[in-house]
Amino acid sequence: DGIRRRDFLDVAAIGAAGVGGLAVVYPLVSQMAPSKDVLAASTTEVDVSAIQPGQAIKAVFRKQPLFVRRLTPAEVAEANSAPLSAMRDPQTLEERTKEGHNDMLVTMGVCTHLGCVPLGAAEGEVKGEFGGYFCPCHGSHYDTAGRIRKGPAPTNLEVPEYEFTSDTVIQVG
């Protein structure tokens, strides 16, 4: 009985540490985060050559998830035909991608509502009602250009600074 109780306490202590840890991690991280200069200098290279139309990959940029997605012609057409007037954060696909690479959508994988990682980048994940990404935390639906179309998120998925350093490699940051 004594031993059981002790096991329980250990588990409870771990649980409490986990929860407490989460609560304090954020302020600590922001205080300890590298200065803007250091962050600004950090870049991520992503080889996009293996991404097939309709596929996406997840990478990491400045410690946050990054989605790189190659749109199918149908997804490009869908993004281009969607009425901007119906959008909360109106932007064209052209504005959100690079010239000559309008089918390559590079966004942060961070919901602009409260920061969850949306679904839709990995094989088999739901993509939401607009065929892009779906945030399961509170139901934000993003379209094939990563624009918010339904749900609480205030803005489109962020497009980070990036450039193509060759036809198959992008440098983010």
Catalytic residue numbers, as ranges:
138
Enumerate residues 40-79 that contact ligand FES by CB under 6 A. Answer: none
Contact stretch for ligand FES (CB under 6 A) within 19-27, 97-105, 107-115, 162-170: 107-115
For 150, residues 6+ apart whose C-beta sits below 8 A from its C-beta are 128, 129, 130, 139, 140, 141
Q: Select 61 or 134, whichever has its Cβ closest to ligand FES.
A: 134
- DSSP class of residue 53? T
Please, which residues bridge with residue 119 across strands? 134
- Nearest approach in angstroms of CB 120 to ligand FES is 12
Per CB under 6 A, which of residues 112..171 are in contact with ligand FES?
113-116, 135, 137-140, 151-153
Q: Which is nearer to ligand FES, 152 or 173 (CB)?
A: 152
Helix (H, G, I), strand (E, B) or coil at 161: coil
Minimum gap (Å) between residue 109 Cβ and ligand FES: 11
Beta carbons of 66 and 60 less than 8 angstroms apart:
yes
CA–CA separation, 119 vs 135, rounded Å? 6
**Mask for 87-106, x = binds ligand FES (CB under 6 A):** --------------------
Maximum Cα interatomic distance, the chain, rounded to a whole number of Å:
70
Q: How many chain residues bind ligand FES (CB under 6 A)?
A: 13
Distance, CA of 136 to CA of 173 (rounded, Å):
28
Smallest distance from ligand FES to CB 157, Å: 10
Tokens 């990995």: give the residue.
Answer: 122
Contact residues: ligand FES, CB under 6 A: 111, 113-116, 135, 137-140, 151-153
